[in-house]
Amino acid sequence: MNGLDINRFAATVERKRLNCHRIVVMHRGRKAAEYGRTPEGPREMFSVSKSFVSVAVGMAAETGKLSTESLFADFFRDIIPEPGERLASLTMGHLLSMTRGHAEFSRPATVAEALSQPLAWQPGTRFTYDNGSTFLASAMFIGTTVLDFLCRHLFAPMGIAAPQWPQSGDGHTVGATGLVLSTNEMALFGQLLLDGGTWLGQRLVPRDWIDHATRPHVATGMTEPHCDLGYGLCFWPCRNGAFRADGKNGQFLVVLPRQKAVVAINSDEPRHLEVLQAIWDEVLPLL
């Protein structure tokens, strides 16, 4: 479509037997290519969901209701009336940057369960990738949920029907995973980010927040070439001046500002980093 020939990407996927369902490439504001092995339709985005929580926080910050400095304990005095020193210093920024101070990955079902995981280190000092941190960030939307907030202020203005996104047992959007979108809808979200948060002339997301959230905030200590440039606020900085949202088994939303392009991929592939590498090898040279 529109001149971008991604046959080499498709051939690489087929040759390596990568289970990539669909790729959508946006270039200079228009869909430039699409390849699919299965029909288009809603699929779980896994940890791409985390980036939507980050954007929701940035939007809420415009109203003064939340910021990266918001203290978690202030929102849950009913269950943590006397937080310890580490929990008392825990901020939204720590949660979004995966520097909560926890020692290992967790999937808490409720806020209370998440709080039962001890903070081994002072918040802000160590990176540990985790679902629990993003869930706690989502839970800080008091009086609404992240899903309801985004349906009103992001999805509806973009013409995206209210998506599925599970709730926790205590009534919060799960946040860290579970959001269901089509590959084309994911690409539209990427275009919004590429355009600095503006959609059809309407400001939806603060540009400053996008710039802030997508730059490195903490070293990951990881040596894999796609994960070694640090971590943002629920976004992964990439080479070539790009950044990405990244989900289990090859859900990728790669935003390339220098090339004015967005690449959205939906996969079910355990070798997910090979799918990402195929973007750099076969799609980037076309842009």
In a domain, 251, yes or no: no
In a domain, 4, yes or no: no
Longest dimension (CA), the chain: 61
- CA-to-CA distance for 64 and 25, rounded, in angstroms? 35
Q: Which residues constitute the domain of residue 84?
A: 42-181+206-240
Tokens of 86: 């580490």
In a domain, 188, yes or no: no
What is the 3 state secondary structure string of 106-164? Answer: CCCCCHHHHHCCCCCCCCCCCCCCCHHHHHHHHHCCCCCCHHHHHHHHHHCCCCCCCCC
pLDDT, tens digit, 9 for 90 and up, residues 155-184: 999 999 999 999 999 999 999 999 999 999
Confidence of residue 1 (pLDDT cuts 50, 70, 90): very low
In a domain, 249, yes or no: no
Partners of 23 in the beta sheet? 35, 265
In a domain, 161, yes or no: yes
Tell me what the mean pLDDT of segment 124-130 comes to: 96
In a domain, 199, yes or no: no
Residue for token digits 């076969």? 282
Angstrom distances, CA of residue 174 to CA of 5, 32, 285: 38, 33, 37
Tell me what the mean pLDDT of segment 15-26 comes to: 95
Q: What is the CATH number of the domain that holds 216?
A: 3.40.710.10
Tally of domains in the chain? 1
pLDDT, tens digit, 9 for 90 and up, residues 48-77: 999 999 999 999 999 888 999 999 999 999
In a domain, 262, yes or no: no
pLDDT of 2 reads 53
CB of 99 closer than 8 Å to CB of 86: no
